[in-house]
Amino acid sequence: MAYSNLRDAVRDLEKNGMLLRIREEVDPNLEMAEIHRQVYDRQGPAVLYERVKGSPFQAVSNLYGTFRQTEFLFRHTLERVKRVIELKKDPANFFKKPGRYLSAPFTALSALPMHSLLPPPVAYATTTIDKLPQIKSWPMDGGAFITLPQVFTEDPDDPGIMHSNLGMYRIQLSGNDYLPNEEIGLHYQLHRGIGVHHTKYNQREESFRCSIFVGGLPSHAFAAIMPMPEGLSELTFAGMLAGRRFRYTRRDGYVLSSDADFVITGEILKNVKKSEGPFGDHLGYYSLAHDFPVMRVHRVYHRKNPLWHFTAVGRPPQEDSSFGWLIHELVAPLTPQEFPGLKELHAVDAAGVHPLLLAIGHERYMPFRERVPEEILTIANRILGSGQTSLAKFLFIAASDDDPSLDTHDMPRFFQHVLDRVDWTRDLHFQTRTTIDTLDYSGSGWNAGSKVVIACRGDRKRTLTTELPKNFALPQGFSDPQFCLPGILAVQAPAFTAGQPAREQAEQLCQALEPFDLQHIPLILLVDDSRFTAATLNNFVWVAFTRANPSHDLYGVRAFTEHKHWGCRGPLVLDARKKPHHAPELEVDTAVQKRVEQLLGGYTF
């Protein structure tokens, strides 16, 4: 049966042993986020906070804390949605297996949003911004944020629900220069649907109205991050996954989600920006303060007995990892349609998603000659030219014909496959001075950096090792070599110094390595802490790919440039040290951490 509101879902979780009630009063300043993180780290259940300091409203988090719990929430609808997606991929499937797809028309019907004629539950009462749970997740955060907002806007050229945009763009409720209860900050990034609407409204006289939904059915928050084609409203997907049509109404010219727990309405001011942030984000670092649009608050609605739905993000994996898992479960069949020739694509969550993509593509161009990267390069360009995947920084792509059983989610095996075959004189393809993820500070400026495609195909060229060659020695200042995986060596390097000294250090290492036989160690990392980097697979991908800018931080043993193509005849050297322009890492407040440990010690879960 479909849930009718968020309380329904929470009751269902509690009935099935998937809810932890925190009965003590808890502080939204750091404490609630720390409770969430510690419960998540223990693969615990959803958390209901019965008493929130400074707010009359209860809160809930970790709703999607495990893949099992996420699947449980959507157990009645997930398979039906998959069948609709299968039909989108190939409508002929309906005639091949009609029994399997009998439910598809009814599932598709739930995609149609429904205008509510009765007074909506969300309009039960109004409140003010300062009465909402003022959740601050990390010590350096600029204020309180909404971390699971559903931001709704309409296209001024084609108004109406079916062409609206619903996106998860973080909202700053307090702090900085925002006028209390009157203004809130709106942060959105590159390749977001709201940007298209914002551009159009800036060219018109009418006001840019916006509604922010919080809570509602579990499918609604997920729909806000679902990568829907431009022009197709996320509300249609919200209805299908809920098994219940998205209900809405209009008040004072604003759209209200009838089933939301809270709705904030207001106007995004034209040509007005204020400093938003810092905010501890999902790459494991702070996104720093930058000027972003401002929303003037009109009203704050809430339903009777509402729940404030939030999460805490930080170095992955975190609760939002379940979103990536569920997206993959649903859209994997559509990948070949979106990217012709692509077999598989994995945005690596542990590396912060956009910094690292792993892909497998088909090679069908010239089957009668030497096996070299050809079609997979075309596929890679398509990936880097499409929507969210265009923000990728490191893209490793392999050819399916080299190993039909290769799986991008088996990362140790995938890296072994690539490094067995890669030819650093041929397989590196750079894009310089381009855009990267807004949250990634490894580049040359805000949203500015570079990309590299590593495309490999062909026979194995080497056998990877976890042993150093005889008489191996590092130059002064470099120490403690540790293998992250076979063929991948982390070397502890001197602290990074901006400018020429850093380049000289890296080139000094490359020159010192020339005499050694390193053909079985094709990738070397320069890091601040080699033991930490090599301790786990997650540490390796996080350090290596969040702290490097390909055009600036890739070096090579016996490097060369030929007709503007750069490569190397020995190991590739990646400088993954922290740099002065990087954002600070996220660190918890130890006093709060200990207090939460004591509090949770009184609970069993």
Q: How confident is the model over 195-223, as pLDDT tens digits?
A: 888 888 888 889 999 999 999 999 999 99
Q: How confident is the model over 261-270, as pLDDT tens digits?
A: 999 999 999 8
Residue 185 is predicted with a pLDDT of 97
Residue 329 is predicted with a pLDDT of 84
Residue 306 is predicted with a pLDDT of 98
pLDDT band, residue 293 (cuts 50/70/90): very high
Residue 190 is predicted with a pLDDT of 55
The residue among 71, 54, 58 whose CA lies nearest residue 13 is 71
pLDDT band, residue 229 (cuts 50/70/90): low
Domain with CATH 3.40.1670.10 in the chain: 335-456
The residue among 267, 7, 253 whose CA lies nearest residue 121 is 7
Domain 335-456 architecture: 3-Layer(aba) Sandwich (3.40)
Higher pLDDT, 498 or 413: 413
Average pLDDT score, the chain: 92
Euclidean distance between CA atoms 539 and 350, whole angstroms: 8
Domain with CATH 2.30.110.10 in the chain: 6-309
Q: How confident is the model over 348-399, as pLDDT tens digits?
A: 999 999 999 999 999 988 777 888 999 999 999 999 998 789 989 999 999 9
Q: How confident is the model over 526-553, as pLDDT tens digits?
A: 999 999 999 999 999 999 999 999 999 9
Residue 146 is predicted with a pLDDT of 98
CATH ID of 6-309, from 3.30.530.20, 2.40.50.100, 2.30.110.10, 1.25.40.80: 2.30.110.10
pLDDT band, residue 328 (cuts 50/70/90): confident
**Amino acid in the structure at residue 465:** T
Terminal C-alpha separation, the chain: 27
Q: What are the structure tokens assigned to 83, written together? A: 């069948």
**Is residue 189 pLDDT above 90, yes or no?**
no
Euclidean distance between CA atoms 305 and 324, whole angstroms: 30
Q: How confident is the model over 89-136, as pLDDT tens digits?
A: 666 665 566 667 556 666 777 889 999 888 999 999 999 999 999 999
Euclidean distance between CA atoms 172 and 36, whole angstroms: 20
Residue 89 is predicted with a pLDDT of 61
What's the mean pLDDT in 154-176?
A: 91
What's the mean pLDDT in 326-341?
A: 82
Q: How confident is the model over 485-529, as pLDDT tens digits?
A: 999 999 999 999 877 888 999 999 999 999 999 999 999 999 999
Our measurement of the distance from residue 380's CA atom to the centroid of its chain's CA atoms, rounded to an integer in Å, reads 20
Instruction: Judge contact between 126 and 194, C-beta under 8 A.
Output: no
Euclidean distance between CA atoms 189 and 517, whole angstroms: 45
Euclidean distance between CA atoms 30 and 420, whole angstroms: 46
Beta-bridged to residue 48, according to DSSP, are 21, 60
**Is residue 345 pLDDT above 60, yes or no?**
yes
Euclidean distance between CA atoms 63 and 73, whole angstroms: 9
Average the pLDDT over each of 231-240, 273-282, 331-340, 475-484 and give the range with the smallest value: 331-340
pLDDT above 70: percentage of residues in the chain: 95
C-beta neighbour count of 286 within 10 angstroms: 23
pLDDT band, residue 187 (cuts 50/70/90): very high
Residue 337 is predicted with a pLDDT of 74
Euclidean distance between CA atoms 523 and 505, whole angstroms: 17
**Is residue 231 pLDDT above 60, yes or no?**
no
